[in-house]
Each structure stands twice: as C-alpha cells, then as structure tokens.
Amino acid sequence: MTATATRPAGSGAGDLSEVARSEAALRTFLHGLPGVDEVGAQARAAMLGTRSIKTSSKAWAIDQAIGMIDLTTLEGADTPGKVRALSTKALRPDSEDPSCPPVAAVCVYPAMVPVAAPILDGTGVHLASVATAFPSGQAPLPVKLEDTRAAVAAGADEIDMVINRGAFLSGRYREVFDEIAAVKETAGPAHLKVILETGELATYDNVRRASWLAMLAGADFIKTSTGKVAPAATLPVTLVMLEAVRDFRVATGRQVGVKPAGGIRTSKDAIKYLVLVNETAGEDWLHPDFFRLGASSLLNDLLMQRTKLKTGRYEGPDYFTLD
Amino acid sequence: MPTESTSVSGSGRLAVRKTYKLFIGGAFPRSESGRSYAVTSSGGDFLANAALASRKDARDAVRAARGAFGKWSAATAYNRGQILYRVAEMLEGRRAQFIDEVSLSEGGDAASTVDAAIDLWVWYAGWSDKITQVYGNANPVAGPFFNLSSPEPTGVVGLVAPQESPLLGLVATLAPIIVTGNTAVVLAAEDRPLPAITLAEVLATSDLPGGVVNLLTGRVAETAPWLASHMDVNGLDLAGVTDPALAADLEAAAADNLKRVVRPGATPVDWHADPGVGRMTPFLETKTVWHPKGV
C-alpha cells in the first residue's frame, strides 16, 4: 500500500470550515497537504491495472460500468436530433436486451438541455450539463453563473463546472474557491461536479490540492477532465483523487464522488477504474452516486463485451448504434 | 536443436536462430497466450518453434484488419497494384530463402514452386486495375439514367490457408483477397507455417500498410471457429480446412452475419493451374448507382 493519509495535522473531524477564512489560511492548508509519491502512484495504478477480471465478475463489472456512465456528447456539431438519439440510448443502451441497465446520466451542453430533459424526465437517468464557459472557464464570473442558472432552469439536475485553471496555477486559490462556492449556490439542488482539468495542472501535488480545494468549496463530485485536453483521465490521477475523497470523508464525514472523463474507450479500461475505486476508496464508492465514467464511445465497447459474454462470439460495431 | 540449416558449421560462430512469430497490424508479436509449438520438416526433423495463436490473437488480428480496411479499400487500384508488385520484387529478393523453406516443409521441386508463387503474385497484382472493367458494367435501363455497377471489396476476410502447399497455396488464396481491396486474417498451414511467416516478413517490408494482412500460426480447429463466428469478419475462405465436419460447422457459424464463404475444394486443388478470376469475385460486392442524365 502506498496510501498516504492526507489528513492535515492537528485537525479533528469536521473543523475544516476555518481553512478557507482567508487566502493565506487556504494556501497554508493546501500547501500543507503531503506531497504525492509520483512513482508510487504510477506503480500502484499500473499494478491494479493488471488484475484479471473474468466470467461472472466481468459480467458484473460490465453492468456496473454501464450504470456509471455519463453518456456524453460535447461537440460543436451537436444537433437536437443527435441529443435525442443519445438520450433514448441512455434509457435502454442495448435495444435488443431489456436486462441491460440504463446509464447514470446524459451530459450535454446547456443549449441542448431542453432537448434531452423531456426524454429523461422521471426515468431515473440524470441530466448533466456542462456550464461556466466550458471547456476553458475563461469568462467573467457573472457569465459563468448565468450559464449555470440557465442550465438548471432548463432541467439539468447535475452541473459539470470547470475550475479557473489560470487562477489556480497562479496561486489565487481563494478566487477559485469563491467561484466554486458561487456556482454551487447558483446551482441550488443540482449536483455539482467540479472539473479540475488535470491535464493542465502539471503535477500530482496540484491535483491533490485542487481536489481538496473543490471539496472544501462544496463540490459533490470531482472530475478529472473536460475531454478537450490531452492527457485526459489517467489511472494515477484518478488514484490521487480517490485518495483525496477518501481522506476528505475521514476528515469531514462528507462523501464526495469521483468522475474520470475522457480517453476511457474500452471495457478493459473501465474495469481497471472499478478495481482502482474498490482498492483505493472502497466499496462505498462503487455506486453511480459516487463514481461516474465520462465517456461516449465506451458504452458501445461495453455493450459488445456484454453481448460477447452472452453469445460466446466476438461482436462487431456494425450491429450497434453509432453514438 | 540446431539443424544443418540453422547452425553454421566450422566457422565457430554461434547460430543466430530465428523466432517465428505472428504478424498482426504490421508488427511481429508473440502469441498473447505465450504458447508455441514445434514445427518439423516433411521428414520429421525439428525445424523451429512457431507461435501457437489463441482466440485473442485472432480477435486482435481482426481488429487490426478492420482498422486497415478503410485506407486500403480506398487506395486507388493503381496504387494497390504498385504495392503488390513491390511485394513480388521482395519475394524475388528472398527467393533462395523461400526455396530452402519450401523444400524443407513440402519437398518436391521447391524452385519451381517458388517461381510459380512469385509469378502468380505478379499476375494478381496486374488484376488490381482490371477487375472493375471485367466485373463492372454500364447497364442498359429503360429510363433517362446512367446505370453503373462496380465491384467493391467486402471487408475483412478470414482465410484458412491450404495445408499441403504452404507458399504457393497461400499466395493463390491471399493475393486475390487483398488485390481487390479487402483486408485479411490468415491462418497459415498448421504443420508447415514457416514459408507463410517469411511471406509476412516480405509483406512487412513492401509498403503494404500494416493490418492489411495479418497472419496467425497454430491450430485451425482452435482459431478458425472464432473467425467464423466473429461478427466483424465479412468473408471466410476455407481453402485449408481438411476436416469436412469442421468445414460444415464453420460455414454454419459464418451464417450468423451472412459472411461470404468459399468452401474447401472437394478434390485436391492444383495450385499451379491457371486460377481464373474465381478467387477474386467471391469477396466483391456489387454497387449499382443510378445517375440521371438529361432527356
């Protein structure tokens, strides 16, 4: 085990409310978090990735992964027709097999929320919308809040916001904190996922700091990436974030979810993430309320693997929908 | 143990012996399963260990073939012909090695077999920009339309290569599949795979895009059913299936996604004979377009 307790020294359960009282206090707290053992994190993630998951365990993992997918389309070329098709697919991913579980949520741009909302309403499949000037986050705060407000008003019950990486990287943590808190307040009852865009954070230490910062500011989920920056989600980065949510629960009693997004395309990848969750944060996180996979092409690969387990023959993409 | 062909006698050098591997996506990996099997000469002497492909190797090979299909099928016929002719040039350069291997595996007049294989490859290379003229057509229709039919490649084709003729038989079945723009997953002759692997080395150095031809060595009865049932394989050539019951099973499995199937010949095929176009057409689809013309 390379797991390091990142609980700050001297703090008991629940008394983290004071760390954000000033820029200086926040900086002291975030820079007081223990550094990440980079080589250790990579080695552990690689080691967990070699677990062999077969037959009935694989079938369970595939269904579990399908139920954790945020089925995503975030393209400039998105049309109402495409979003409608995607939403319908989210409800019943495999049109030939009713035993296939629905996905966890559909994730679209705010302009497409009104299209997806009537299809998903009352089905138990959530409707997530990116907001706050996704993917760059480079817009004035009032614009970001209006973006959020519009998405919630149109029917989104989950908001995926991006943090202000420019502010974070130049050390203006309080500004990032306030923005997240403001968006959280604006989002109201909608669940808030905070995208750290780990591909732009440069170090694992920064990933750990950003994770804690987002959780302190009120995030319900921390998410790796927008999917627009390479590298997107990687196993070691997700490991660091899972350690953060685990330690945050120990420190505060509040359980925050994790969502790797971008670059997860195969069933094998998805299963590696499930192993990582189970071995790092624990079984409590193996639930769509606390772990999601942001993906689009992954779903078809899971469906093909699922059908392969059922029929005993290899499947081809010709027999599954395009998106 | 080293044989006369692999050790250098008297010079004091250590023999540099070759590891015969699979050919998937332009690379030469070992079998995913880590297995291998002994290959012997027609006289029973040990020749080499070859990789024993598993179903996952077959799956990887199909994935590589599917990935290569878009570019290869969209290449101009002229370009495909050039590349195939280049393959023939490389075959010619390795003539001596092929003669060695063919004579060890099937015996007989190896030199004439290798020459026939090279000539046949050149012959098929020439067909690349001619098959459309022979199998395409401008159809007379009652209306103001140009009506044009043209042959198009089917997709990924699985090939069980002939068992008794590991080089000439392979060329005679593989070349017609790829010349028209299909990509192939080949199960080489089970007991005589060495010339096939050397052919793969030729293909790897001939500008043929990686994945157009993927070659597996191993047991036909083990891997062929996975190709036959694979839903992303569009055609199946059973030339080298010697067991009639297995051939029937494979054909039944292939029916699930309506693969185009070429059955094994009822009588032994003479690979030296003029092949005609009969092996190119089974893996072609006909596309017909109606184009309006003025009055």
Query: Where residue B7 falls among pLDDT bands split at 50, 70, 90?
Result: low
C-alpha count within 13 angstroms, C-beta hemisphere, residue B30: 8
- CATH number where A213 lies: 3.20.20.70
Question: Which residues from chain A sit within 8 angstroms of residue B231, using beta carbons?
Answer: 313-316, 318-319
Q: For chain A, what percent of residues have pLDDT higher than 70?
A: 95
Mean pLDDT of A265-284: 96
Both ends of chain A: CA-CA distance in Å? 39
**Does residue B64 contact residue B216 with C-beta atoms inside 8 Å?**
no
How many domains does one find in chain A? 1
Cβ distance A313 to B229 less than 8 Å, yes or no, reads: yes
Find, among B69, B176, B86, the residue nearest to B130 by Cα.
B176
Domain presence at residue A111 = yes
Mean pLDDT of A102-118: 97
Of A314, A318, A319, the CB nearest to B59: A314
Position A1 scores a pLDDT of 41
CA B180 to CA B283: how far, in whole Å? 8
CATH number of the domain at B36-292, out of 3.40.718.10, 3.30.420.10, 3.40.605.10, 3.90.1150.10? Answer: 3.40.605.10
Whether the predicted interface score ipTM is above 0.85: yes
- Does B9 score more than 80 pLDDT? no
Cβ distance B232 to A314 less than 8 Å, yes or no, reads: yes
List, as one string, the DSSP characters of B55-95: HHHHHHHHHHHHHHHHHHHHS-HHHHHHHHHHHHHHHHHTH
Residue A160 known to be catalytic: yes
Distance from CA of A139 to the nearest CA of B (A): 41
**Does residue A165 contact residue A200 with C-beta atoms inside 8 Å?**
yes
pLDDT in tens, A37-91: 999 999 999 999 999 999 999 999 999 999 999 999 999 999 999 999 999 999 9
Closest alpha carbon within chain B to A307: B231
Distance from CA of A298 to the nearest CA of B (A): 16
Tokens 């599917």 -> residue? B66
Q: At what angle do helices B168-179 and B194-204 cross, to 10 degrees?
A: 40
Tokens 């000439």 -> residue? B168
CA A124 to CA A290: how far, in whole Å? 16
Cβ distance A314 to B231 less than 8 Å, yes or no, reads: yes
Is B89 touching A (CB cutoff 8 A)?
no
Question: Which residues from chain B sit within 8 angstroms of residue A305, using beta carbons?
Answer: none
Mean pLDDT of B191-206: 96
Domain presence at residue A28 = no
- Does A200 score more than 90 pLDDT? yes
Position A9 scores a pLDDT of 44
Position A11 scores a pLDDT of 44
Cβ distance B232 to A313 less than 8 Å, yes or no, reads: no
pLDDT in tens, A209-247: 999 999 999 999 999 999 999 999 999 999 999 999 999
CA B71 to CA B64: how far, in whole Å? 12
Find, among A276, A279, A248, A256, the residue nearest to A264 by Cα.
A276
Query: Where residue B8 falls among pLDDT bands split at 50, 70, 90?
Result: low
Structural domain containing residue A180: 55-310
pLDDT in tens, B106-154: 888 999 999 999 999 999 999 999 999 999 999 999 999 999 999 999 9
Instruction: Report how far apart, in Å, the C-alpha atoms of A22 and of each of A6, A174, A210, A225, B142 are.
Output: 21, 7, 17, 28, 85
In which order are the strands placed within the sheet that holds B183-187? B213-216, B183-187, B156-160, B235-237, B260-262
Mean pLDDT of B272-287: 95
Maximum pairwise Cα distance, chain A: 61
Domain presence at residue A320 = no
CA B121 to CA B123: how far, in whole Å? 5
Domain presence at residue A297 = yes
Catalytic-role residue among A160, A247, A269, A301: A160
Domain presence at residue A16 = no
- Does B283 score more than 80 pLDDT? yes
* A interface test, pick of B231, B257, B259, B285 with most A CB neighbours within 10 Å: B231
